[in-house]
Amino acid sequence: MIKKLLILIFILFFISLQWYNLNSKTNNFPIDEPIIDEPIVDEPIEEEIKYTIVIDPGHGPWVNNDVEPIAPGSDKMKRKYGVGTVGNTTGTMEREINLNVSLMLRDLLEKDGFIVIMTRTNHEVILSNIERVDLANDNNADLMIRVHNDSHQNQSIHGASMLVPGDVGYASDIMDISRQYGEIILNTLVEEVGMSNRGIITRTDQTGFNWSKVPIMTVEMGFLSNPDEDRLLSTSEYQEKLAYALYKGILKCFNKKTLLNQIE
């Protein structure tokens, strides 16, 4: 009797054990491991720098014979403004070419996000050399480019040059960077347009230069005294080429590689 009872107990224990194992398996759902949120590190977004360019279309509607100091603290005085030269062959006024190229250059730069300040947009406004460069100084411009054309008694002389400031007045602090930018823009201009390179010329007698606290230069895009260049400079097609070349040179100054790749 005892033996049968023990066998029965063993059988019941065995059945209970099987039931327990089966029940454990069916309810043994995987336990999700805790999710550890890793900190999200935002990659720094490089904010595009907005460069400010002041464009000064050289000359204006009339001669301003009022005078102003040629440099800060100087007793030497110079006329505030001149009317510019005129084409020997076409009769085109320099001020017209300067303004046309400057407006085209403005449009190209603004399209690419540059802040552009014009010293004039027509032939009705005239500012002195100091007043024009003060637009650049007051706006802490990254560059001021003065757009001009040249003339000479020798009509065979042709080509482009770049005038840059010397060690006079405020320009003492910006003459090196002005020369660096000037070389870049001039080299780009002659390469793009296909003209003679007359080089970099340092000028200490320019009122606009001597009062400038920002990088500044004057581009002489050609000679209106030269018959061939006069005819070219008077056409809108050539003016567009000049504006585009100046624009491309400015991009190089500020290392705008992405924009350069897009236009090349």
Distances, alpha carbon 139 to alpha carbons 33, 51, 216, in Å: 60, 11, 14
pLDDT in tens, 137-192: 999 999 999 999 999 999 999 999 999 999 999 999 999 999 999 999 999 999 99
The yes-or-no verdict on residue 224 having pLDDT over 80 is: yes
Cα 202 off chain centre by: 23
Please state, for a pLDDT cut of 90, what percent of the chain lies above it.
Answer: 71
Looking at residue 139, the DSSP 8-state letter turns out to be: T
pLDDT in tens, 87-121: 999 999 999 999 999 999 999 999 999 999 999 99
Cα 137 off chain centre by: 17
Say how far apart CA 51 and CA 135 lie, in whole Å. Answer: 15
pLDDT of residue 15: 60
Say how far apart CA 144 and CA 223 lie, in whole Å. Answer: 22
